[in-house]
Amino acid sequence: MTGKVGVIDYGGGNLQNVLNVLKYLKHDGSLVSKPEDLETIDRLIFPGVGSFGDCVEVLDQKKLREPIADWVRSDRPFFGICLGYQVLFEQSVESPGVKGLGVFEGEVVRFPDDMGLKVPHMGWNEVIPCDHGHPVWSELPTPLHLYFVHSYFPKPADEKIISSTTSYGIEFASSIAKGNAFAGQFHPERSQQAGLRLIQNFLEQS
């Protein structure tokens, strides 16, 4: 069982949702707004709603870019949600010229416009774990259904880190995992019991 959980304050609107989930799961959550806040926590959650460029700009203003990247690289427990998944990569077509955290190699791309599907991809969809040994998937079915709201998604250069896939016109990497770091394009805080189980698994992994 974990101690204190930090939630990165990037100025987005779903921070309180994540804090409410932590409270529901009987865990102590606090906002991380400056580098010093990382010294008082054991696990880090990076939720995200908004644009790639705006999010990275806020991280730079708060001097959180390198501390967050160092946290993930040092294999400390990390859970990235939606935009908090995307910014781990090098760049995004959504914000040309803006550098992501670059923890993982790869680019964030947009769903093609010629698929005849609505973009953003919004609603429930199947998530198929391909990394069943990772503790975050413990006691969850294959496939499971989680909630999505996004127009962009990462294309990891290293396919070995892909932890699940989802199909929406094309198949994409709906999550990645490496060591104690896990990040997904879905919103577990909006995914009812399956999402709660995902977060609980993250909080309980050793």
Which tens digits make up the pLDDT trace of 160-189? 999 999 999 999 999 999 999 999 999 999
Contact 161, 177 (CB under 8 A): yes
**Type of residue found at 186:** F
Name the active-site residue from 27, 55, 82, 134: 82
Q: Supply φ then ψ for residue 177, to 5 degrees.
A: -150, 140
Token pair 């806040």: residue: 37
- Each domain of the chain, given as residue ranges in start order, spans 5-204
Q: Write out the E strands in the chain.
A: 5-8, 29-32, 43-46, 78-81, 91-92, 106-110, 121-129, 144-150, 152-156, 162-168, 170-178, 181-184
pLDDT top residue among 193 and 133: 193
What is the value of pTM for the model shown? 0.95
- Indicate if 57 belongs to the active site: no
- Indicate if 90 belongs to the active site: no
CATH of domain 5-204: 3.40.50.880
Q: What is the mean pLDDT of residues 19-31?
A: 93
Give residue 1's pLDDT band: very low, low, confident or very high (50, 70, 90): very low
Angle CA 100–101–107, to nearest 5: 45
Task: Convert the pLDDT of each residue in 43-58 to its tens digit.
Answer: 999 998 889 999 999 9
Give percent above pLDDT 90 in the chain: 88
In sequence order, the β-bridge partners of residue 149 are: 122
- pLDDT above 70 (res 2): no
- Indicate if 130 belongs to the active site: no
Q: What is the mean pLDDT of residues 27-43?
A: 95
| Alpha carbons within 13 A on the beta-carbon side of 186 | 33
